[in-house]
Structure 1
Amino acid sequence: MGIFSGKTQPRDDLEKLVGELRDIISSRDLDDVPQIRQIRQRFDEGYSNVREAAVHAAHEAASRAKDHAETANRYAHDEPWHVAGAAVAIGAVIGFLLARR
């Protein structure tokens, strides 16, 4: 299960919908309709473009996350007392809030 425990993930729903659409336009009963070949080709190209864009976006997000992590790591090594002070301050606030319960 993923983040949506007990629920279907949107990606799974999309994959299912795409599969159903592909099954419909792949039906041999529709081979006699001239526009079906065009629809099949446009569908395949569009789906391929969407998948490529999604993969590119995922790689881009991973690259940005890695860059930010490296920046944070450099800052923590360059300014360890600032990081330790911030951690102490955050811990004190959380401790204060928990003590009030």
Structure 2
Amino acid sequence: MADHAPHTRDTTRQLKEDLQHLSQTVEELVNATADDSRHNIKELRERAERRLNETRARLEARGERAYQEARDTVTHQADACDRYVHDHPWTSIGIGAAVGVVVGMLIGRR
């Protein structure tokens, strides 16, 4: 099984950087509105819009990758479980029965 911790740390770090850049640009835009220089506001607005679009695209790509990775992991785990049940049917029945008894006892306590 692959270790996803470094990938997760890199993704988290990149997300923080993206949000920090976007936040700085929005802050510059807000500060620029105090100055009535229309050219300055237009330039900062365009930069903020560009960074917003870039950040949105990166977040969507990361979300899609995370979804694919999660789906692949769940599929892999389901396949492994299916193989185990087919390879060890009596053990699987025993485990299922034991879980059923425990759940039945817990429900019966209420």
Same fold (TM over 0.5): yes
Which structure 2 residue ranges, 5 or more long, are not aligned? 1-37
Matching residue of 2:65: 56
Q: For residues 54 and 68 of structure 2, what CA distance do their matches in structure 1 show? A: 21
Return the match for 2:100 from 83, 91, 98. Answer: 91
Tell me the C-alpha RMSD between the 2 structures: 2.1
Matching residue of 2:49: 40
1:33, CA displacement in angstroms? 1.7
User: Aligned pair 1:73/2:82, yes or no?
Assistant: yes
Matching residue of 1:8: none
Give aligned pairs, total: 73
Structure with higher helix content: 2
Matching residue of 2:91: 82
Q: For residues 41 and 98 of structure 2, what CA distance do their matches in structure 1 show? A: 72
Deviations 1:30-85 (A, max 9, x none): 99621111111111001110011001101110010000000000000001111000
TM norm structure 1: 0.63
Instruction: Using the aligned pairs only, state the percent identity.
Output: 27
Q: For residues 44 and 108 of structure 2, what CA distance do their matches in structure 1 show? A: 70
Mapped contact 1:76–1:83 kept (Cα < 8 A): yes
- Cα 1:79–1:35, aligned 2, differ >3 Å: closer, same or farther? same
Q: Which of the pair has the greater relative contact order for Cα pairs under 8 Å at 6+ separation?
A: 2
- Cα 1:59–1:30, aligned 2, differ >3 Å: closer, same or farther? farther
